Structure 1
């Protein structure tokens, strides 16, 4: 018996990176995963082949209509959603001198409005199921951030407040809402197309800026998501679980 047997879990942005790690971990405990992707269908299909009972669903979370269509398709193919993981997001770094309306709008639309749209479309399911919401924040949204990440940090601070407000708004419906705030995790988002030499320098830089002298792995976030998705966290609500190795950063570093 798994901790999440037959629970239907929607994880936005789950074809790769942290979302993929969360999907793999929750599926290992019996969950059926609704794998959301926007553009990378091949990675979504590869993950579906590995996870029993999973399905893939395309949606751009920055579009309310796209999210609504996705949730309707999940209902048709899988059923009622028990757990929502608002994971989809982008990391866009730029300074005030490089301010651009479209870049700012995009990061807000995906990181913050995407979570709002998806929650709105899943909320009736979650009320019915006494479900769980897990939001992906960042240590950048709780006071620690690198240089040129101001707008990213604002969106993640918004996720923190969204978590606390949703926990309050949905408490009478017995829906628990918590967030994970990762530090630097070696993933598609943080590594991108960097060379092995650049990746090595990043590892060393971030390792030196943690009390544990280590960098994070996607599996660390998957483990945290399982805790929040299971009954083991039944006495937690409206909380932000920071997983950053005990970061001892200041605000002068770049990613």
Structure 2
């Protein structure tokens, strides 16, 4: 059976760890030539190299349009095309509005939203020339339904969701699809840095309680969704915010069904 991304070329930002690395690995497993982009090289990138000789890891800053355009040019020169983009680079800083200083706000917006804008802007000319391509932006369930204290992060991810819809509207006529993947709480280095602090124990437990599957997600589970969206299996899927959060934003639980014996 042929692999789902055989003869395809995929660019993954934030590819050194977490969801980005998981996407790069899954895409390589499914036959793609993979170009990974991050601020510094991944100590785990050898896992990608063991799956395919068709791979590059390039150190670049997603907040620089010129840097991303150079990465795209190198990818196309090396592999001849660019068929998929996953924009996984991001950070998780936030707070209530009156407590977020201007520099912190700009930093989150610059990486999460501007970085995604620059990534898509860099790949679109090649995809327009090909008249094909799939863009998977990594947003968040918190870009669909906000959570307390998340002003800058939630705003940045909501921006990614609507940016993705605009790309789908504007470029669908050229055979280019764009969807926002909106993860819930996934066990990544960013998750660890925020929720595994001692003072966050009760918050972490409450988030777990509101995640209807009763566990946090794994990066590979997000990579599997991204793989579907990048593949021809999703050929009629575009302009969507695909939430993969274990049911976190499905609604509220108050213990009522447990009182009725559902355990």
TM-score, structure 2 normalization: 0.87
* Counterpart residue number, 1:140: 142
Kindly tell me: are residues 225 and 148 of structure 1, through their superposed partners in 2, closer, same or farther at Cα, counting changes over 3 Å? Answer: same
Distance 1:37 1:135 in 2: 15
C-alpha contact (below 8 Å) 2:177/2:238 kept by paired residues: yes
Give the match for residue 43 of structure 2: 43
Residues 120, 44 of structure 1: alpha-carbon distance in 2 compared, 3 angstrom cutoff: farther
Does the CA-based 8 Å contact 1:14-1:44 persist in structure 2?
no
The answer to whether the 8 A contact 1:57-1:74 is kept is no
Give runs of aligned pairs for residues 56-95 of structure 1, distance below 5 A.
56-95=57-96
* Structure-2 separation of matches of 1:201 and 1:9: 39
Structure-2 residue corresponding to 1:21: 22
- Which moved further from structure 2: 62-71 or 29-38? 62-71
Deviations 1:71-104 (A, max 9, x none): 2222233332111111111111233333222111
Count of equivalent residues? 248
Q: 4+ residue runs of structure 1 moved beyond 2 angstroms?
A: 42-51, 75-79, 93-99, 192-207
Alignment deviations for residues 33-89 of structure 1 (CA, whole Å, 9 cap, x no partner):
1011113x1436434433411111111001112212222222233332111111111
Partner of 1:253: none
- The residue aligned with 1:175 is 176
**Paired residues of 2:94 and 2:100 also in contact (CA < 8 A):** no
* Equivalent runs, 1:230-241 vs 2, <5 Å: 230-241=231-242
Partner of residue 116, structure 1: 117
CA distance 1:133–1:195, shift in 2 (3 Å): closer
Q: How far is the alpha carbon of 1:195 from its aligned partner?
A: 5.7
Residue in 1 that maps onto 2:223 = 222
Asked if the contact 1:58/1:70 (under 8 Å) is kept, the reply is: no
* C-alpha contact 2:5 2:27 (8 A) present in aligned 1: yes
**Deviation (angstroms), 1:111:** 0.6
Q: Which has the larger radius of gyration?
A: 2
- After TM superposition, the structure 1 stretch with the greater mean CA deviation from structure 2, 64-73 or 223-232, is 64-73
Deviations 1:183-215 (A, max 9, x none): 100101110287697897666433211222221
| TM-score (norm. length: structure 1) | 0.89
> Retained in 1: the 8 A contact 2:138–2:180?
yes
- 2:191 maps to 190
| Paired position in structure 2 for 1:131 | 133
Give me the CA root mean square deviation.
2.2
5+ residue gaps in structure 1? Answer: 251-255
Q: Distance in 1 between matches of 2:90 and 2:164?
A: 16
Most deviating of 48-57 and 225-234: 48-57
